[in-house]
Amino acid sequence: MKIIMLGAPGAGKGTQAQMIADKYGIPHISTGDIFRENVKNGTELGMEAKKYMDEGALVPDELTVKILLDRVAKDDCKNGYVLDGFPRTIPQAEVLEKAITEIGDKIDFAINVDVPDENIIRRMSGRRACPACGATFHIEHVPPVKEGICDKCGKELILRDDDRAETVKNRLEVYHKQTQPLISFYTERDVMRTVDGTMDRKEVFEAITAILA
């Protein structure tokens, strides 16, 4: 079972990807994680990617797919995997499709966790983080016992720059321009499925498992 997770930043696709991985015993593969792992281990592909990363440049799609294919060729992926964070654009999807077709493979499901922009802005801008111990809270859903203070270590909570409403809006604009077209791409291939991401996390997961059943 090969699955691609889609959805806007803050839609909760990473959480759902991990829950799928845990339930079905397949790896949750984040491109960010495999980049870091390859760089840390000093692999040939990792060193090639590091050149771009050190310059602040994007790693080319072909190299990203090479690193991805190297990862999915490992034994723990023989029953499938969940891709999180790739592809992000139509060209990336095309490169990935070509590469996995050449090894006789295919994507079984692309699952879109659909959440309206206004919900995401409220969800992300309500996050608060502890700079000392890393604990996270939400002013609506998981508030600290004492407003603005970390329950775990008593330090003052902060609103991270990437959770500020204006930053979230910018990220959503990029998503709609670059990533949302993937919904049409995978719909044409008859593997696209959409779930309502505004539901409770467990309800979203139940909707996904019903699709995968």
User: Known catalytic residues?
Assistant: 13, 88, 127, 160, 171
Q: 199 in helix, strand or coil?
A: coil
Q: Are 81 and 72 in contact (CB under 8 A)?
A: yes
Task: State the Cα–Cα distance between residues 12 and 120, nearest whole angstrom.
Answer: 9
What is the distance in angstroms between the CA of the first residue and the CA of the last residue of the chain? 11
Q: 159 in helix, strand or coil?
A: coil
Report the interhelical angle of 13-24 vs 201-212 (nearest 10°): 50
Alpha-carbon distances, residue 46 vs 41, 62, 63, 108, 212 (angstroms): 8, 13, 9, 28, 33
Alpha-carbon distances, residue 207 vs 2, 5, 144, 210 (angstroms): 17, 14, 30, 5
